[in-house]
Chain A
Protein backbone atom coordinates (compact mmCIF):
# COMPACT_ATOMS: atom_id res chain seq x y z
CA UNK A 1 0.00 0.00 0.00
CA UNK A 2 2.77 2.42 0.91
CA UNK A 3 4.20 1.87 -2.58
CA UNK A 4 0.87 2.92 -4.04
CA UNK A 5 0.86 6.08 -1.92
CA UNK A 6 4.36 6.82 -3.22
CA UNK A 7 3.28 6.28 -6.82
CA UNK A 8 0.22 8.51 -6.44
CA UNK A 9 2.27 11.21 -4.69
CA UNK A 10 5.03 11.01 -7.27
CA UNK A 11 2.51 11.25 -10.06
CA UNK A 12 1.03 14.39 -8.57
CA UNK A 13 4.43 16.05 -8.09
CA UNK A 14 5.32 15.26 -11.68
CA UNK A 15 2.03 16.68 -12.87
CA UNK A 16 2.86 20.18 -11.60
CA UNK A 17 6.55 20.18 -12.33
CA UNK A 18 7.43 23.86 -12.27
CA UNK A 19 5.83 24.57 -8.91
CA UNK A 20 7.25 21.37 -7.44
CA UNK A 21 10.76 22.31 -8.49
CA UNK A 22 10.46 25.86 -7.19
CA UNK A 23 9.33 24.47 -3.85
CA UNK A 24 12.10 21.89 -3.85
CA UNK A 25 14.74 24.57 -4.54
CA UNK A 26 13.85 26.13 -1.19
CA UNK A 27 14.72 22.84 0.52
CA UNK A 28 17.85 22.36 -1.59
CA UNK A 29 19.22 25.71 -0.40
CA UNK A 30 18.45 25.02 3.24
CA UNK A 31 19.93 21.52 3.26
CA UNK A 32 22.96 22.59 1.21
CA UNK A 33 23.65 25.41 3.68
CA UNK A 34 23.41 23.10 6.68
CA UNK A 35 25.51 20.33 5.13
CA UNK A 36 28.15 22.76 3.89
CA UNK A 37 28.43 24.59 7.21
CA UNK A 38 28.55 21.42 9.30
CA UNK A 39 31.15 19.76 7.11
CA UNK A 40 33.25 22.93 7.03
CA UNK A 41 33.24 23.24 10.79
CA UNK A 42 33.99 19.52 11.13
CA UNK A 43 36.83 20.08 8.67
CA UNK A 44 38.12 22.99 10.74
CA UNK A 45 38.01 20.85 13.87
CA UNK A 46 39.81 17.97 12.12
CA UNK A 47 42.48 20.36 10.85
CA UNK A 48 43.10 21.81 14.28
CA UNK A 49 43.20 18.37 15.87
CA UNK A 50 45.62 17.16 13.23
CA UNK A 51 47.97 20.06 13.86
CA UNK A 52 47.84 19.47 17.61
CA UNK A 53 48.53 15.79 17.10
CA UNK A 54 51.60 16.56 14.98
CA UNK A 55 52.72 18.88 17.75
CA UNK A 56 52.24 16.21 20.39
CA UNK A 57 50.03 16.13 23.47
CA UNK A 58 52.74 14.96 25.88
CA UNK A 59 53.82 18.44 26.83
CA UNK A 60 53.04 21.43 28.98
CA UNK A 61 52.66 24.81 27.33
CA UNK A 62 53.74 27.68 29.52
CA UNK A 63 53.28 31.35 28.80
CA UNK A 64 52.99 34.56 30.74
CA UNK A 65 49.43 35.66 31.30
CA UNK A 66 48.26 37.98 28.58
CA UNK A 67 50.38 36.34 25.95
CA UNK A 68 48.13 35.88 22.93
CA UNK A 69 50.55 34.48 20.38
CA UNK A 70 53.55 35.83 18.53
CA UNK A 71 53.66 39.58 18.23
CA UNK A 72 51.95 40.40 21.51
CA UNK A 73 53.79 41.81 24.45
CA UNK A 74 54.41 39.72 27.49
CA UNK A 75 56.52 40.08 30.51
CA UNK A 76 57.09 37.33 32.85
CA UNK A 77 59.00 34.22 31.99
CA UNK A 78 62.66 34.52 32.78
CA UNK A 79 65.64 32.23 32.56
CA UNK A 80 65.16 31.57 36.28
CA UNK A 81 61.71 30.17 35.62
CA UNK A 82 63.16 27.89 32.96
CA UNK A 83 65.73 26.61 35.39
CA UNK A 84 62.90 25.72 37.81
CA UNK A 85 61.62 23.37 35.13
CA UNK A 86 65.05 22.09 34.29
CA UNK A 87 65.48 20.95 37.87
CA UNK A 88 62.35 18.79 37.65
CA UNK A 89 63.14 15.19 36.60
CA UNK A 90 59.79 14.61 34.83
CA UNK A 91 60.71 16.64 31.76
CA UNK A 92 62.45 15.23 28.73
CA UNK A 93 63.05 18.33 26.63
CA UNK A 94 62.32 21.94 27.43
CA UNK A 95 61.99 24.12 24.37
CA UNK A 96 61.43 27.84 24.65
CA UNK A 97 61.58 31.00 22.68
CA UNK A 98 60.24 34.40 21.79
CA UNK A 99 58.65 35.84 18.70
CA UNK A 100 57.91 39.22 17.29
CA UNK A 101 57.47 40.96 13.99
CA UNK A 102 60.87 42.07 12.70
CA UNK A 103 62.31 44.20 9.95
CA UNK A 104 63.73 41.83 7.32
CA UNK A 105 65.60 42.90 4.23
CA UNK A 106 66.23 40.78 1.16
CA UNK A 107 67.70 42.20 -2.08
CA UNK A 108 66.95 45.76 -0.92
CA UNK A 109 63.30 44.92 -0.22
CA UNK A 110 62.05 45.30 3.36
CA UNK A 111 59.21 43.30 4.93
CA UNK A 112 57.97 42.56 8.43
CA UNK A 113 57.41 38.83 8.89
CA UNK A 114 57.46 37.06 12.24
CA UNK A 115 60.84 36.27 13.65
CA UNK A 116 61.04 33.41 16.08
CA UNK A 117 64.04 32.85 18.27
CA UNK A 118 64.13 29.45 19.92
CA UNK A 119 66.27 27.05 21.91
CA UNK A 120 66.00 23.26 22.16
CA UNK A 121 63.27 23.44 19.52
CA UNK A 122 64.75 21.27 16.80
CA UNK A 123 62.98 18.05 17.79
CA UNK A 124 59.69 19.85 18.16
CA UNK A 125 59.97 21.32 14.67
CA UNK A 126 61.12 18.02 13.25
CA UNK A 127 58.06 16.27 14.59
CA UNK A 128 55.56 18.86 13.41
CA UNK A 129 57.01 20.18 10.15
CA UNK A 130 58.82 18.69 7.20
CA UNK A 131 61.83 20.35 5.67
CA UNK A 132 61.59 21.10 1.96
CA UNK A 133 65.19 22.09 1.30
CA UNK A 134 68.37 22.21 3.36
CA UNK A 135 68.31 21.23 7.05
CA UNK A 136 66.79 22.13 10.40
CA UNK A 137 68.30 24.93 12.46
CA UNK A 138 70.61 23.82 15.30
CA UNK A 139 71.10 25.77 18.53
CA UNK A 140 74.62 26.62 17.43
CA UNK A 141 73.61 28.14 14.09
CA UNK A 142 73.72 31.70 15.37
CA UNK A 143 74.34 33.22 11.93
CA UNK A 144 71.79 31.10 10.06
CA UNK A 145 68.01 31.10 9.56
CA UNK A 146 65.37 28.60 8.64
CA UNK A 147 62.37 30.05 6.81
CA UNK A 148 58.71 29.15 6.34
CA UNK A 149 57.38 28.39 2.87
CA UNK A 150 55.63 31.73 2.37
CA UNK A 151 58.77 33.63 3.34
CA UNK A 152 60.61 31.62 0.70
CA UNK A 153 58.07 31.86 -2.08
CA UNK A 154 55.69 34.78 -1.59
CA UNK A 155 57.02 37.40 0.80
CA UNK A 156 59.57 39.06 -1.44
CA UNK A 157 59.48 39.80 -5.16
CA UNK A 158 62.31 37.30 -5.67
CA UNK A 159 62.14 33.85 -4.17
CA UNK A 160 64.48 33.25 -1.26
CA UNK A 161 66.77 30.28 -1.91
CA UNK A 162 69.12 28.22 0.22
CA UNK A 163 72.37 30.03 1.05
CA UNK A 164 70.83 33.42 0.18
CA UNK A 165 71.63 36.20 2.63
CA UNK A 166 68.87 38.09 4.40
CA UNK A 167 69.25 40.67 7.10
CA UNK A 168 67.10 40.91 10.20
CA UNK A 169 67.21 44.18 12.14
CA UNK A 170 70.49 44.96 10.46
CA UNK A 171 72.28 41.64 11.10
CA UNK A 172 73.00 39.38 8.18
CA UNK A 173 71.95 35.71 8.20
CA UNK A 174 72.36 32.82 5.78
CA UNK A 175 69.37 30.64 4.79
CA UNK A 176 70.10 27.01 5.68
CA UNK A 177 66.64 25.48 5.61
CA UNK A 178 63.24 26.00 3.96
CA UNK A 179 60.17 24.37 5.52
CA UNK A 180 57.26 22.67 3.76
CA UNK A 181 53.94 24.55 4.02
CA UNK A 182 52.37 23.96 7.42
CA UNK A 183 48.96 25.24 6.44
CA UNK A 184 48.49 28.37 8.46
CA UNK A 185 49.69 31.68 7.15
CA UNK A 186 51.33 32.88 10.33
CA UNK A 187 53.58 29.83 10.74
CA UNK A 188 54.45 29.74 7.06
CA UNK A 189 55.35 33.42 7.26
CA UNK A 190 57.89 32.99 10.07
CA UNK A 191 61.68 33.16 10.09
CA UNK A 192 63.34 30.90 12.65
CA UNK A 193 66.61 31.92 14.33
CA UNK A 194 68.35 30.83 17.51
CA UNK A 195 67.38 32.43 20.80
CA UNK A 196 70.87 33.81 21.16
CA UNK A 197 70.71 35.56 17.81
CA UNK A 198 67.22 36.80 18.69
CA UNK A 199 68.36 38.32 21.97
CA UNK A 200 71.34 39.87 20.25
CA UNK A 201 69.44 41.62 17.50
CA UNK A 202 66.40 42.66 19.54
CA UNK A 203 68.36 43.52 22.66
CA UNK A 204 66.45 41.25 25.02
CA UNK A 205 68.32 39.83 27.97
CA UNK A 206 66.73 37.04 29.97
CA UNK A 207 63.10 36.84 28.95
CA UNK A 208 61.16 34.37 26.82
CA UNK A 209 57.55 34.42 25.63
CA UNK A 210 56.73 30.78 25.95
CA UNK A 211 57.94 27.36 26.91
CA UNK A 212 56.96 24.00 25.51
CA UNK A 213 58.11 21.30 27.89
CA UNK A 214 57.87 17.69 26.81
CA UNK A 215 57.33 15.20 29.64
CA UNK A 216 58.93 11.78 29.93
CA UNK A 217 56.79 8.75 29.06
CA UNK A 218 54.60 7.52 31.90
CA UNK A 219 54.38 10.84 33.72
CA UNK A 220 50.91 11.96 34.79
CA UNK A 221 50.70 15.22 32.89
CA UNK A 222 47.81 16.69 34.87
CA UNK A 223 49.42 16.27 38.29
CA UNK A 224 52.67 17.57 36.84
CA UNK A 225 50.76 20.60 35.59
CA UNK A 226 49.56 21.31 39.15
CA UNK A 227 53.04 20.80 40.55
CA UNK A 228 54.59 23.21 38.03
CA UNK A 229 51.94 25.83 38.85
CA UNK A 230 52.65 25.47 42.58
CA UNK A 231 56.38 25.65 42.04
CA UNK A 232 56.11 28.82 39.94
CA UNK A 233 53.86 30.40 42.53
CA UNK A 234 56.22 29.50 45.36
CA UNK A 235 59.38 30.67 43.62
CA UNK A 236 57.99 33.77 41.91
CA UNK A 237 55.42 34.80 44.47
CA UNK A 238 52.78 35.50 41.79
CA UNK A 239 50.31 33.69 39.56
CA UNK A 240 51.37 35.36 36.32
CA UNK A 241 52.27 32.17 34.50
CA UNK A 242 49.74 30.04 32.65
CA UNK A 243 50.44 26.34 32.44
CA UNK A 244 48.21 24.33 30.11
CA UNK A 245 48.25 21.09 28.17
CA UNK A 246 47.58 20.92 24.42
CA UNK A 247 44.49 18.82 25.22
CA UNK A 248 43.10 21.63 27.35
CA UNK A 249 43.68 24.13 24.57
CA UNK A 250 42.04 21.74 22.13
CA UNK A 251 39.05 21.43 24.43
CA UNK A 252 38.81 25.19 24.69
CA UNK A 253 38.99 25.58 20.92
CA UNK A 254 36.48 22.77 20.62
CA UNK A 255 33.99 24.52 22.85
CA UNK A 256 34.42 27.79 20.96
CA UNK A 257 34.02 25.92 17.68
CA UNK A 258 30.92 24.30 19.10
CA UNK A 259 29.35 27.69 19.72
CA UNK A 260 30.36 28.92 16.27
CA UNK A 261 28.97 25.72 14.79
CA UNK A 262 25.68 26.12 16.64
CA UNK A 263 25.31 29.70 15.43
CA UNK A 264 26.13 28.80 11.83
CA UNK A 265 23.84 25.78 11.78
CA UNK A 266 21.14 27.89 13.44
CA UNK A 267 21.38 30.40 10.63
CA UNK A 268 21.29 27.62 8.05
CA UNK A 269 18.31 26.10 9.84
CA UNK A 270 16.40 29.33 9.29
CA UNK A 271 16.72 28.85 5.55
CA UNK A 272 15.49 25.28 5.95
CA UNK A 273 12.49 26.53 7.92
CA UNK A 274 11.79 28.97 5.11
CA UNK A 275 12.07 26.06 2.69
CA UNK A 276 9.64 24.10 4.85
CA UNK A 277 7.16 26.97 4.80
CA UNK A 278 7.53 26.90 1.02
CA UNK A 279 6.41 23.27 1.08
CA UNK A 280 3.49 24.08 3.38
CA UNK A 281 2.42 26.88 1.07
CA UNK A 282 2.74 24.74 -2.02
CA UNK A 283 0.84 21.87 -0.41
CA UNK A 284 -2.01 24.17 0.65
CA UNK A 285 -2.26 25.35 -2.94
CA UNK A 286 -2.21 21.75 -4.09
CA UNK A 287 -4.95 20.76 -1.67
CA UNK A 288 -7.05 23.64 -2.94
CA UNK A 289 -6.36 22.77 -6.57
CA UNK A 290 -7.05 19.12 -6.03
CA UNK A 291 -10.08 19.44 -3.76
CA UNK A 292 -12.17 17.84 -6.46
CA UNK A 293 -9.67 15.01 -6.90
CA UNK A 294 -9.82 14.40 -3.18
CA UNK A 295 -13.60 14.21 -3.48
CA UNK A 296 -13.26 11.75 -6.36
CA UNK A 297 -10.84 9.56 -4.41
CA UNK A 298 -13.15 9.55 -1.43
CA UNK A 299 -16.17 8.71 -3.60
CA UNK A 300 -14.39 5.61 -4.87
CA UNK A 301 -13.41 4.40 -1.42
CA UNK A 302 -10.39 6.38 -0.18
CA UNK A 303 -10.45 6.79 3.60
CA UNK A 304 -9.25 9.90 5.42
CA UNK A 305 -6.11 7.94 6.26
CA UNK A 306 -5.48 7.20 2.58
CA UNK A 307 -5.79 10.86 1.65
CA UNK A 308 -3.65 11.95 4.60
CA UNK A 309 -0.95 9.45 3.65
CA UNK A 310 -0.87 10.46 0.01
CA UNK A 311 -0.47 14.14 0.84
CA UNK A 312 2.06 13.54 3.62
CA UNK A 313 4.17 11.35 1.38
CA UNK A 314 3.90 13.90 -1.37
CA UNK A 315 5.34 16.65 0.82
CA UNK A 316 7.87 14.24 2.30
CA UNK A 317 8.98 13.31 -1.22
CA UNK A 318 9.51 16.95 -2.09
CA UNK A 319 11.64 17.24 1.03
CA UNK A 320 13.55 14.09 0.12
CA UNK A 321 14.28 15.24 -3.43
CA UNK A 322 15.33 18.63 -2.09
CA UNK A 323 17.47 16.87 0.51
CA UNK A 324 19.12 14.71 -2.14
CA UNK A 325 20.22 17.62 -4.27
CA UNK A 326 20.91 19.79 -1.22
CA UNK A 327 23.26 17.19 0.27
CA UNK A 328 25.16 16.89 -3.00
CA UNK A 329 25.35 20.65 -3.45
CA UNK A 330 26.36 21.24 0.16
CA UNK A 331 29.12 18.62 -0.05
CA UNK A 332 30.45 20.12 -3.28
CA UNK A 333 30.40 23.61 -1.78
CA UNK A 334 32.30 22.52 1.32
CA UNK A 335 34.87 20.57 -0.71
CA UNK A 336 35.29 23.62 -2.94
CA UNK A 337 35.79 25.97 -0.01
CA UNK A 338 38.21 23.48 1.59
CA UNK A 339 40.30 23.33 -1.55
CA UNK A 340 40.20 27.08 -2.10
CA UNK A 341 41.21 27.70 1.49
CA UNK A 342 44.06 25.19 1.41
CA UNK A 343 45.34 26.69 -1.84
CA UNK A 344 45.23 30.13 -0.24
CA UNK A 345 47.40 29.00 2.67
CA UNK A 346 44.81 28.06 5.30
CA UNK A 347 44.79 24.31 5.46
CA UNK A 348 41.24 22.95 5.81
CA UNK A 349 40.61 19.21 5.78
CA UNK A 350 37.10 18.81 4.36
CA UNK A 351 35.98 15.24 3.84
CA UNK A 352 32.89 13.66 2.32
CA UNK A 353 30.89 12.64 5.37
CA UNK A 354 28.38 9.82 4.69
CA UNK A 355 26.65 10.10 8.09
CA UNK A 356 26.09 13.80 7.55
CA UNK A 357 24.71 13.13 4.07
CA UNK A 358 22.27 10.51 5.34
CA UNK A 359 21.27 12.81 8.18
CA UNK A 360 20.66 15.65 5.69
CA UNK A 361 18.50 13.40 3.55
CA UNK A 362 16.37 12.07 6.39
CA UNK A 363 16.07 15.49 7.99
CA UNK A 364 14.81 16.95 4.71
CA UNK A 365 12.23 14.16 4.40
CA UNK A 366 11.15 14.87 7.97
CA UNK A 367 10.91 18.63 7.33
CA UNK A 368 8.83 17.88 4.24
CA UNK A 369 6.43 15.67 6.19
CA UNK A 370 6.08 18.17 9.03
CA UNK A 371 5.54 21.01 6.57
CA UNK A 372 2.92 19.00 4.75
CA UNK A 373 1.10 17.77 7.83
CA UNK A 374 -1.33 20.68 8.18
CA UNK A 375 -2.34 20.80 4.51
CA UNK A 376 -2.60 16.99 4.50
CA UNK A 377 -4.90 17.05 7.51
CA UNK A 378 -7.02 19.66 5.82
CA UNK A 379 -7.21 17.48 2.70
CA UNK A 380 -8.12 14.40 4.72
CA UNK A 381 -10.91 16.19 6.58
CA UNK A 382 -12.68 17.43 3.47
CA UNK A 383 -16.22 16.14 3.16
CA UNK A 384 -16.61 14.10 -0.01
CA UNK A 385 -19.78 15.87 -1.21
CA UNK A 386 -18.32 19.34 -0.65
CA UNK A 387 -15.06 18.35 -2.28
CA UNK A 388 -16.83 16.94 -5.34
CA UNK A 389 -18.85 20.10 -5.77
CA UNK A 390 -15.67 22.21 -5.72
CA UNK A 391 -14.79 23.73 -9.10
Chain B
Protein backbone atom coordinates (compact mmCIF):
# COMPACT_ATOMS: atom_id res chain seq x y z
CA UNK B 1 0.00 0.00 0.00
CA UNK B 2 1.41 3.36 -1.00
CA UNK B 3 1.65 5.70 1.93
CA UNK B 4 0.33 9.22 1.57
CA UNK B 5 2.52 12.02 2.90
CA UNK B 6 0.77 14.50 5.20
CA UNK B 7 3.76 16.48 6.45
CA UNK B 8 7.00 17.30 4.70
CA UNK B 9 9.81 19.51 5.97
CA UNK B 10 12.28 20.56 3.32
CA UNK B 11 15.58 22.18 4.39
CA UNK B 12 13.86 24.03 7.22
CA UNK B 13 15.83 26.60 9.18
CA UNK B 14 14.70 28.48 12.24
CA UNK B 15 17.06 31.11 13.53
CA UNK B 16 16.24 32.98 16.74
CA UNK B 17 17.78 36.38 17.11
CA UNK B 18 18.97 36.75 20.68
CA UNK B 19 20.42 40.21 21.26
CA UNK B 20 23.63 40.15 19.21
CA UNK B 21 23.85 36.41 18.66
CA UNK B 22 21.84 34.33 16.23
CA UNK B 23 20.73 31.00 17.59
CA UNK B 24 19.87 28.42 14.93
CA UNK B 25 17.29 26.05 16.45
CA UNK B 26 16.64 24.22 13.19
CA UNK B 27 19.47 23.83 10.71
CA UNK B 28 18.19 22.51 7.44
CA UNK B 29 15.83 19.91 8.80
CA UNK B 30 14.25 17.34 6.48
CA UNK B 31 11.39 15.10 7.60
CA UNK B 32 8.42 13.31 6.10
CA UNK B 33 5.42 12.06 8.00
CA UNK B 34 2.80 9.77 6.52
CA UNK B 35 -0.91 10.00 7.05
CA UNK B 36 -2.07 7.88 10.01
CA UNK B 37 1.46 7.38 11.25
CA UNK B 38 2.64 7.52 14.88
CA UNK B 39 6.01 9.26 14.90
CA UNK B 40 8.12 9.80 18.00
CA UNK B 41 10.62 12.64 17.93
CA UNK B 42 13.49 12.23 20.36
CA UNK B 43 16.76 13.96 21.00
CA UNK B 44 18.73 15.84 23.62
CA UNK B 45 17.57 19.17 25.05
CA UNK B 46 18.12 21.99 22.59
CA UNK B 47 18.14 19.68 19.57
CA UNK B 48 15.14 21.51 18.11
CA UNK B 49 12.33 19.04 18.90
CA UNK B 50 9.83 21.60 20.14
CA UNK B 51 10.80 24.14 17.51
CA UNK B 52 10.14 21.56 14.83
CA UNK B 53 6.80 20.66 16.39
CA UNK B 54 5.78 24.33 16.55
CA UNK B 55 6.69 24.81 12.91
CA UNK B 56 4.71 21.73 11.87
CA UNK B 57 1.77 22.95 13.96
CA UNK B 58 1.75 26.37 12.30
CA UNK B 59 2.53 28.05 15.62
CA UNK B 60 5.63 29.53 14.11
CA UNK B 61 7.01 30.15 10.63
CA UNK B 62 10.48 28.96 9.63
CA UNK B 63 13.25 31.41 8.75
CA UNK B 64 14.05 29.41 5.62
CA UNK B 65 12.80 26.28 3.90
CA UNK B 66 9.37 24.90 3.11
CA UNK B 67 6.82 23.00 5.17
CA UNK B 68 3.97 21.16 3.49
CA UNK B 69 0.93 20.28 5.51
CA UNK B 70 -1.56 18.16 3.58
CA UNK B 71 0.08 19.29 0.34
CA UNK B 72 -0.05 22.98 1.17
CA UNK B 73 2.97 25.18 1.83
CA UNK B 74 2.42 26.72 5.26
CA UNK B 75 5.85 28.29 5.69
CA UNK B 76 4.94 31.70 4.35
CA UNK B 77 1.33 32.20 5.41
CA UNK B 78 -0.10 35.18 7.27
CA UNK B 79 -0.92 34.88 10.94
CA UNK B 80 -4.66 34.69 10.31
CA UNK B 81 -4.20 31.88 7.77
CA UNK B 82 -1.96 30.06 10.24
CA UNK B 83 -4.65 30.47 12.92
CA UNK B 84 -7.15 28.85 10.56
CA UNK B 85 -4.82 25.92 10.00
CA UNK B 86 -4.16 25.50 13.71
CA UNK B 87 -7.87 25.61 14.40
CA UNK B 88 -8.92 23.11 11.73
CA UNK B 89 -6.07 20.72 10.99
CA UNK B 90 -3.98 20.53 14.14
CA UNK B 91 -4.67 19.42 17.68
CA UNK B 92 -2.06 20.33 20.27
CA UNK B 93 -1.34 18.49 23.51
CA UNK B 94 1.22 20.19 25.75
CA UNK B 95 3.34 19.01 28.63
CA UNK B 96 1.80 21.47 31.06
CA UNK B 97 -1.74 20.97 29.68
CA UNK B 98 -2.32 24.65 28.89
CA UNK B 99 -5.95 24.78 29.87
CA UNK B 100 -7.64 28.12 30.52
CA UNK B 101 -8.03 28.32 34.29
CA UNK B 102 -11.20 30.40 34.34
CA UNK B 103 -13.11 28.02 32.06
CA UNK B 104 -14.67 24.68 33.01
CA UNK B 105 -13.56 21.42 31.39
CA UNK B 106 -16.55 21.61 29.06
CA UNK B 107 -15.85 25.24 28.09
CA UNK B 108 -12.17 24.49 27.53
CA UNK B 109 -13.04 21.69 25.12
CA UNK B 110 -15.64 23.84 23.37
CA UNK B 111 -13.29 26.81 22.92
CA UNK B 112 -11.57 25.69 19.67
CA UNK B 113 -15.04 25.24 18.15
CA UNK B 114 -15.93 28.79 19.23
CA UNK B 115 -13.10 30.09 17.09
CA UNK B 116 -14.46 28.06 14.15
CA UNK B 117 -17.82 29.83 14.59
CA UNK B 118 -19.72 26.67 15.49
CA UNK B 119 -23.11 27.21 17.15
CA UNK B 120 -23.17 26.97 20.92
CA UNK B 121 -25.60 24.02 21.16
CA UNK B 122 -23.51 21.96 18.75
CA UNK B 123 -20.31 22.95 20.55
CA UNK B 124 -21.57 21.88 23.93
CA UNK B 125 -22.92 18.57 22.59
CA UNK B 126 -19.61 17.73 20.88
CA UNK B 127 -17.54 18.81 23.89
CA UNK B 128 -19.64 16.62 26.16
CA UNK B 129 -19.18 13.63 23.85
CA UNK B 130 -15.42 14.17 23.69
CA UNK B 131 -15.06 14.50 27.46
CA UNK B 132 -17.16 11.37 27.94
CA UNK B 133 -14.96 9.50 25.48
CA UNK B 134 -11.84 10.37 27.52
CA UNK B 135 -13.60 9.24 30.70
CA UNK B 136 -14.51 12.61 32.17
CA UNK B 137 -18.27 12.56 31.59
CA UNK B 138 -18.83 13.25 35.28
CA UNK B 139 -16.47 16.24 35.54
CA UNK B 140 -17.80 18.48 32.79
CA UNK B 141 -18.20 21.53 34.97
CA UNK B 142 -15.01 21.23 36.99
CA UNK B 143 -12.44 23.97 36.64
CA UNK B 144 -8.90 22.82 35.74
CA UNK B 145 -7.84 23.53 39.32
CA UNK B 146 -10.39 20.94 40.48
CA UNK B 147 -8.87 18.19 38.32
CA UNK B 148 -5.82 15.94 38.76
CA UNK B 149 -2.88 16.13 36.35
CA UNK B 150 -4.02 13.07 34.41
CA UNK B 151 -7.55 14.47 34.17
CA UNK B 152 -6.27 17.79 32.93
CA UNK B 153 -4.31 16.08 30.19
CA UNK B 154 -7.46 14.18 29.21
CA UNK B 155 -9.31 17.48 28.93
CA UNK B 156 -6.44 18.78 26.79
CA UNK B 157 -6.67 15.72 24.52
CA UNK B 158 -10.43 16.15 24.22
CA UNK B 159 -9.82 19.78 23.32
CA UNK B 160 -7.23 18.77 20.70
CA UNK B 161 -9.92 16.64 19.05
CA UNK B 162 -12.61 19.33 19.13
CA UNK B 163 -12.40 20.31 15.46
CA UNK B 164 -11.63 16.77 14.32
CA UNK B 165 -8.08 17.55 13.10
CA UNK B 166 -6.01 15.19 11.02
CA UNK B 167 -2.85 15.71 13.02
CA UNK B 168 -2.29 15.52 16.78
CA UNK B 169 0.94 17.11 17.99
CA UNK B 170 1.99 16.24 21.53
CA UNK B 171 4.94 17.90 23.24
CA UNK B 172 6.07 15.74 26.18
CA UNK B 173 2.44 14.79 26.95
CA UNK B 174 3.40 12.61 29.92
CA UNK B 175 6.25 14.76 31.20
CA UNK B 176 4.27 16.17 34.12
CA UNK B 177 2.51 12.93 35.04
CA UNK B 178 3.39 9.92 37.19
CA UNK B 179 4.22 6.75 35.27
CA UNK B 180 0.86 5.03 35.76
CA UNK B 181 -1.08 8.06 34.56
CA UNK B 182 1.48 8.52 31.81
CA UNK B 183 0.68 5.06 30.47
CA UNK B 184 -3.03 5.83 30.49
CA UNK B 185 -2.49 9.05 28.55
CA UNK B 186 -0.21 7.27 26.10
CA UNK B 187 -2.85 4.59 25.53
CA UNK B 188 -5.43 7.26 24.92
CA UNK B 189 -3.21 8.88 22.28
CA UNK B 190 -2.37 5.52 20.71
CA UNK B 191 -6.05 4.74 20.44
CA UNK B 192 -6.61 7.94 18.52
CA UNK B 193 -3.86 6.89 16.15
CA UNK B 194 -4.89 3.26 15.71
CA UNK B 195 -8.69 3.44 15.89
CA UNK B 196 -9.38 6.87 14.44
CA UNK B 197 -6.41 7.04 12.10
CA UNK B 198 -5.11 10.35 13.38
CA UNK B 199 -1.56 11.20 12.49
CA UNK B 200 0.27 11.43 15.81
CA UNK B 201 3.59 13.14 16.41
CA UNK B 202 4.93 12.96 19.95
CA UNK B 203 8.01 14.77 21.16
CA UNK B 204 9.40 12.84 24.10
CA UNK B 205 12.31 11.94 26.31
CA UNK B 206 10.56 8.78 27.34
CA UNK B 207 11.97 5.60 25.80
CA UNK B 208 8.76 3.70 26.57
CA UNK B 209 6.71 6.09 24.47
CA UNK B 210 9.25 6.08 21.66
CA UNK B 211 9.14 2.29 21.51
CA UNK B 212 5.38 2.34 20.92
CA UNK B 213 5.74 4.53 17.81
CA UNK B 214 5.76 3.36 14.20
CA UNK B 215 8.97 5.28 13.59
CA UNK B 216 11.40 7.25 15.73
CA UNK B 217 13.13 10.38 14.43
CA UNK B 218 16.36 11.27 16.23
CA UNK B 219 17.27 14.93 16.28
CA UNK B 220 20.60 16.57 16.98
CA UNK B 221 21.64 20.17 16.43
CA UNK B 222 18.44 21.06 14.62
CA UNK B 223 18.63 18.21 12.14
CA UNK B 224 17.18 14.71 11.81
CA UNK B 225 20.18 12.45 12.17
CA UNK B 226 18.38 9.13 11.78
CA UNK B 227 14.93 7.60 11.46
CA UNK B 228 14.30 4.10 12.76
CA UNK B 229 11.41 1.74 12.36
Contact = CB atoms under 8 A, between A and B. Distances in A.
B60 A385 contact: yes
Contacts of A4: 114, 120
B83 A304 contact: yes
B87 interface: yes
A14 B159 CA distance: 23
Interface of B: 54, 57, 59-60, 79-80, 83-84, 86-88, 92, 94, 98-103, 111-112, 114-117, 120, 159, 162-163
B116 to A, nearest CB: 6
Given A11-B102, A296-B98, A388-B59, A301 B116 contact: yes
Contacts of A8: 114
A297 B115 contact: yes
B98 A388 contact: yes
A302 interface: yes
Interface string A371-387: 00000000000011100
Contacts, number: 71
Interface of A: 1, 3-4, 8, 11-12, 14-15, 292-293, 295-306, 383-385, 388
B115 A384 contact: no
Given A297-B111, A300-B111, A300-B159, A305 B102 contact: no
Contact of B59 (A292, A302, A306, A385): A385
B83 A298 contact: yes
10 contacts: A1-B114, A4-B114, A297-B115, A299-B86, A300-B159, A301-B88, A303-B83, A304-B80, A306-B115, A383-B60
Given A11-B102, A12-B102, A300-B92, 18 more contacts: A3-B120, A4-B120, A11-B103, A297-B115, A299-B98, A300-B115, A301-B86, A301-B115, A301-B116, A303-B79, A303-B80, A303-B115, A304-B80, A304-B83, A385-B59, A385-B60, A388-B59, A388-B98
Contacts of A1: 114, 117
Contacts of A384: 59-60, 86
